[in-house]
Amino acid sequence: MSDFTNGFWSLYVAGITLAGIIACAVLLWVAGRKKVAARSDNTTGHVWDENLTEMNNPLPMWWVGLFIITIVFGIGYLIAYPGLGSYQGELKWTQKGEYDTEVAKANKALEPLYAQFTAKKPEELAGDANAMAIGERLFMNNCAQCHGSDARGSKGFPNLADSDWIHGGSGEKIKESILKGRTGMMPPMAAAVGGSEDVRNVAHYVLSLSNSPHDSLRAQLGKSKFAACAACHGADGKGNPAMGAPNLADDVWLHGWGEQAIVNMVVNGKTNQMPAQEEKLTPAQIHVLSGYVWSLSNRAQPGKL
């Protein structure tokens, strides 16, 4: 791949571009100077379809003028804008810059709309129909790709519509997650737990914490080995939101359920990342979005709204 990103290809593209413009200019010059011997009837002698005769007339001046304007425009464009390989152009124009300008203009126009929500806490916004309508649109455009249009997630992508929160489910914690993103990492723990049988035993002990089907004998043997996991998940396996360590004692399985899924986690570890949205969304948009996400797991609980 590095062969296609070195300096040669930039020069190659620039060379072909300039050669095309120069060729057009040379073609125009040659066509203007070359004289074809004409017959007395001012034809070249070329006839097609029995009666289509090629006349020996010079190029119309308006056509020549347009040709020259096209060449001049092409040269001017390549000086001002990127087009000659890696040359950025005198105006330093980029697609990203154009996009950022348009987004900034749109966000400026929307500031009055979001101003009415900034004084409220995310939990309070959950009771505002206008805020929820806007929050839903923000969610569909920026979050649904991973968490699903119903916010119930899928394997590897957390369900935002239940009450299980790895980093905490308050409005401010949700806002923090959206703003800065999250990186969850579980290191491979097989060496700390013991041999392959010990890993299986730990898997069954983890299953027992949530009353999932398990081998009780293996679970009993794995309880002492779980000490290697307790530093993050706690002695009772209920996790630690401050560290982003999931609760293993509920019935929520982010990366798959069952002995083999847990064994794979212990042996291989796992890294999950939610990208930060602070450079994509404005603080006001994140504030409204936080209220909407908070509402997803609280709207069905009496007294929450």
* pTM, rounded to two decimals: 0.75
Cα 232-242-277 angle, rounded to 5 deg: 120
Binned at pLDDT 50, 70 and 90, residue 302 comes out as: very low
C-beta separation of 218 from 208 below 8 A: no
Binned at pLDDT 50, 70 and 90, residue 305 comes out as: very low
Per-residue pLDDT, 230: 94
Per-residue pLDDT, 301: 44
| Residue 124 lies inside a defined structural domain of this protein | yes
How many angstroms separate the Cα of 261 from the Cα of each of 64, 196, 256, 265?
73, 14, 6, 6
Mean pLDDT of 222-239: 95
Residue after which a domain boundary falls, among 13, 47, 80: 80
Containing structural domain, residue 244: 185-274
Q: What is the CATH number of the domain that holds 246?
A: 1.10.760.10
Residue after which a domain boundary falls, among 80, 111, 143: 80
By CB atoms closer than 10 A (0-12, 13-18, 19+), residue 273 is: exposed
C-beta separation of 204 from 197 below 8 A: no
| Residue 92 lies inside a defined structural domain of this protein | no
Q: Are residues 189 and 171 in the same domain?
A: no
> How does the average pLDDT of the chain come out, rounded?
90
| Residue 232 lies inside a defined structural domain of this protein | yes
Look at residue 251 and tell me whether its pLDDT is greater than 50. yes
Mean pLDDT of 163-181: 95
Cα torsion at 253, 259, 261, 263 (round to 10°)?
A: 120
Per-residue pLDDT, 145: 95
Q: Are residues 153 and 138 in the same domain?
A: yes
Look at residue 138 and tell me whether its pLDDT is greater than 90. yes
49-100 confidence digits (pLDDT tens): 888 988 877 778 898 899 999 999 999 999 999 988 888 899 999 999 999 9
Q: Are residues 59 and 198 in the same domain?
A: no
Number of structural domains in the chain: 3
Query: How far, in Å, CA of 269 to CA of 275, rounded?
Result: 20
Q: Are residues 168 and 292 in the same domain?
A: yes
| Residue 72 lies inside a defined structural domain of this protein | yes
